[in-house]
Amino acid sequence: MKKSDIYQIIDNKIKILSSDTIIDPKDIKSIELKINVVHKNATGDVLNSIANAMSGSVANGNELVRVELIISCNNQSYSLRLKDNPVVRNNLEYHELVKRTRKLKNLLDEDIKKIV
């Protein structure tokens, strides 16, 4: 997925394509990478606890997370995701998604500097 699939610069404003939101870069307070845990149902928690106990593992082996950029403005926050589905923390897909999301953040920062 390219940055042009996520956002575009139109008339010196940022248009988020997933929600058709237009943001004035002067209103942006911060842009940060967030990794949010996706809560599972009780059955998933119990099965995961049993698997961890039986294997002697102390780590949560299948914790689902969403990786996203949060753009905080004066009165609202907007979310940009490269992938809508959650990924398992600390697997290869997760690390690649974090890397690509950081790159997207850097590209967005550069585009904002050009506008402002």
Statement: residue 27 has pLDDT above 70: yes
d(Cα 111, Cα 116) in Å, to the nearest integer?
Answer: 9
What value does the mean pLDDT take over residues 39-52? Answer: 62
Give me the pLDDT at residue 39, please.
76
Q: How many CB atoms lie within 10 A of CB 110?
A: 10
Mean pLDDT of 51-72: 74
> If pLDDT is split at 50, 70 and 90, which confidence band does 75 have?
confident
Q: Is the pLDDT of residue 78 over 80?
A: yes
pLDDT of residue 74: 87
Asked whether residue 44 carries a pLDDT value surpassing 70, the answer given is: no
Task: Give the 3-state secondary structure of 26-81.
Answer: HHEEEEEEEEEECCCCHHHHHHHHHHHHHHCCCCCCCCEEEEEEEEEECCCEEEEC
The structure's pTM equals: 0.79
Note whether 78 and 71 are within 8 A (CB). yes
Residue 52: its pLDDT value, please? 58
37 pLDDT higher than 70: yes
